[in-house]
Structure 1
């Protein structure tokens, strides 16, 4: 397992760039907090009666206070926690003139890196260097993570490690594990094993977090035998694999259908010092359901409960999906309705799974009823829920109710929602309503796609509103949806007998530098022949159009 030693690249020089110049700044947020805590100075002796209380003086907030608040914001799941932590750092540096310590910079940089904003994280660490704050092992580890896990700049990550060694900041197990994780995610398993050798040479003992990315890389690459051998090596060396490590192996074994080996792992778990968790059983159930062994999946639920584990929403969705695969939507719907009696908390994803299955079986009314039941239970729908319900209402012919639902405050519309409504309104011959929906869609900040423009153009051409259809086509050119919209307007003009307008349109398109692909020529000829132009006295018009296209191509 030992790899030959490799020289580390040259020393990393931390850039000194002010945080205010970072491209990821967002000035919309005002500082979130004004510390106004007053520290009371209490006397050692009880004050005499009538003595006024001693004056209070404002206590200057310590960086530790800020760091606690930054950590709290960074741990939120609303996606804006990193921004709030960043602006608290701004407040310390600019408004309160309080110098942040290394922990404050590290907390904010880690939050930005976790939010997939590596550029902003690097800017924070640059500001740390600009302020003269010496980086510690934690700050350097965050920098290694940005380079290795986010930017895949492994030479720079190695340089950080070398800088740490040269400046007396010893890399710890977290530093090396972070570097190994980045290498494994990039598929460089051999390089990761080299880093593992390096940390052993430096006397840094690995742990389960060090080995788990390597096990995962082996499993992802189909090298399950090597993953199992690495697990045995860990155990023999005294490094106990964690439950997360075994979960990676369980998932890989389920993908190849090695369920007997999974059973053996679960049976040996107590002897090997690890405890299966909800993720372990959920992964096993998912593999069984996909293999059509739904009965054994439900048997695992009893085993989970006997071990004191409560199935999660993910577990329930795996079972629902398994029932949908092997049985009918009715059975899945019954399981969902009984989930509360079993003590399981169903969520919106669970309802969406069953409603999609009901759609597959064309049970549109059952979808609407399940949506009503979901609303009564206070489960907030998401965009997928609304898309499914709108589709079902349209299939039931209740376009008015679908449009009313679209206008409700709780509705989360997407381009799929509008395309569904436009398609069914087009079938019903509601051209004016289609144009109105397209306008509302753009005004609402939802960008139309190529399907949207094709549906609208087809509808307008069927209603012989060719001028409006041409305007819609030219709008699609601005949005860079040329091929599909072009085919729609070509077919519409041919069916409507508007060959003169077609001739002008082709000249305009070619004149603007658009390239007409071969398959568009084929579709054009098919449409002309299908509508009888190739066998009529107007054949010369067809030839003239094709000659113009070939001449300007």
Structure 2
């Protein structure tokens, strides 16, 4: 694939030529790739209403909304709305599949309380839970709430009431245990599966692989992979992706290359996540040239770079060139035909902070606002930090009061830090009081900053 600079607008090229660095080949290649990605057709949104009030049609639409996702679990909210609508229809009550779909969507959106409420409503409506519904309940307790006694209780209830746990049920329990760092207990559940005659699959082993890699136990991770292969369980692409990401973190790029070379022979196909993880590791290691070469390899294998891939390359461009140049890339996004998003802006703003270009962050935030791109908490936290560094605390506080701004503990810690260094204890306590009043729990950093301020004030 070629990235011809002649297709780029003159304004952008002029910005590059006036920058502090003139080696911008990666910027040019990235700009062309961004335009190509933006030119691709977008997937149509799911329909708003089912064609008939039959539970099957409702469940299909619920699933479509759940898969579409959205900020703050909007897809789960739409699925829940359909469930409530269906429960209000005479003669068309939701079946177990409808309740299960909505509960799973809410659990995936990190709303375990709402998921439990849906399953409670299922019991209240007299709908008997099946294995799928019970598995979702196991997932809520094990993966979301880490209440393992309750998760085990559901499994025991299933066995006592003729609802046999299956491989998915046990794999879900193993996933929750691994995410809590209880790998030994997860291996015990794996042994129980084998004793009861269930054959583990890649979904069973992958959480264990992830737990090994997360704790740096690479030898056990590789041994687990060999165990899967020798036992006849073909590792999935997701399993290999976990290993690839871990190898990239320790910069074992030769081992990653070997895995990719052997992929066809071992029966797995690298996907966009595989290449994105590899690109991310290479960019962080300063090898952006090989990252762009992987784009060519992706395309030759019939894979298309996605927005995650694009943002990884943008971060690499910032590292290899300057965030100042990437800033101009964002400002010229309209002329480039690139559908820039909030993640792209946040990436460049963060790199501008690394270069201590606080004013450039504020200017980029203004450009973002003019283009009508919705900011998120990460955006505001970066801008708040930059305003504090510029000594514009009044503007930082005005931004805090903005209706569009949802503050986090990081926001308040930033403001408290800049107030505490001046010894203004009264303002620090006002911020702490406001923070608690908004339902934001202080963390260890918050209390440490407040204590430092008190010590400075006493001196």
TM-score, L = length of structure 2: 0.71
Task: Indicate whether 1:170 and 2:164 are aligned.
Answer: yes
Which of these residues, 303, 316, 320, is aligned with residue 314 of structure 2? 320
CA offset at residue 238 of structure 1?
A: 1.5
Asked if 2 retains the 8 angstrom alpha-carbon contact of 1:122 and 1:143, the reply is yes
Q: Please list, as runs of the form range in 1=range in 2, the aligned pairs for 1:473-488 lying within 5 A after superposition.
A: 478-479=433-434
Q: 1:343 to 1:434 in 2, by over 3 A?
A: closer
Q: 1:69 to 1:307 in 2, by over 3 A?
A: closer
Q: Match for residue 73 of structure 1?
A: 65
* RMSD, matched Cα: 4.3
Q: Match for residue 291 of structure 1?
A: 285
Q: Match for residue 424 of structure 1?
A: 392
Which of these residues, 248, 251, 254, is aligned with residue 242 of structure 2? 248
Q: 1:457 to 1:107 in 2, by over 3 A?
A: closer
In 1, Cα distance between equivalents of 2:123 and 2:369: 53
Superposed CA deviations along residues 57-116 of structure 1, whole A, max 9, x for unmatched, are: xxxx33223323332333332323333333433344345364322112212222222222
Q: Match for residue 382 of structure 1?
A: 375
Asked if 2 retains the 8 angstrom alpha-carbon contact of 1:189 and 1:214, the reply is yes
Bigger CA radius of gyration? 1
Q: Secondary structure at the match of 1:479?
A: helix
Q: Secondary structure at the match of 1:75?
A: helix
In 2, Cα distance between equivalents of 1:518 and 1:363: 30
In 2, Cα distance between equivalents of 1:285 and 1:77: 26
Count of aligned residue pairs for this structure pair: 394
Q: Match for residue 523 of structure 1?
A: 456
In 2, Cα distance between equivalents of 1:145 and 1:387: 33
Q: Secondary structure at the match of 2:198?
A: coil
Q: Match for residue 62 of structure 1?
A: 54
Q: Match for residue 281 of structure 1?
A: 275
Q: 1:373 to 1:186 in 2, by over 3 A?
A: closer
Q: Secondary structure at the match of 2:264?
A: coil
Asked if 1 retains the 8 angstrom alpha-carbon contact of 2:358 and 2:389, the reply is no
Q: 1:418 to 1:319 in 2, by over 3 A?
A: closer
In 2, Cα distance between equivalents of 1:365 and 1:456: 20
Asked if 1 retains the 8 angstrom alpha-carbon contact of 2:353 and 2:386, the reply is no
- Give the stretch that moved more between structures: 234-243 or 87-96: 87-96
In 2, Cα distance between equivalents of 1:156 and 1:142: 13
Structure 2, unmatched stretches of 5+, are 1-46, 437-449
Superposed CA deviations along residues 347-392 of structure 1, whole A, max 9, x for unmatched, are: 332243334434554667876886788789x672525797599x6x
Q: 1:365 to 1:245 in 2, by over 3 A?
A: same
Between the two structures, name the one with larger relative contact order (CA 8 Å, sep ≥ 6): 2
In 2, Cα distance between equivalents of 1:248 and 1:457: 42
Q: 1:342 to 1:233 in 2, by over 3 A?
A: farther
Q: Please list, as runs of the form range in 1=range in 2, the aligned pairs for 1:80-229 lying within 5 A after superposition.
A: 80-94=74-88, 96=90, 98-229=92-223
In 1, Cα distance between equivalents of 2:133 and 2:223: 34
CA offset at residue 452 of structure 1?
A: 5.2
In 2, Cα distance between equivalents of 1:227 and 1:291: 23
CA offset at residue 251 of structure 1?
A: 0.8
Q: In proportion to residue count, which structure has more helix?
A: 2
Asked if 2 retains the 8 angstrom alpha-carbon contact of 1:320 and 1:336, the reply is no
Task: Indicate whether 1:441 and 2:401 are aligned.
Answer: yes
Q: Please list, as runs of the form range in 1=range in 2, the aligned pairs for 1:385-404 lying within 5 A after superposition.
A: none
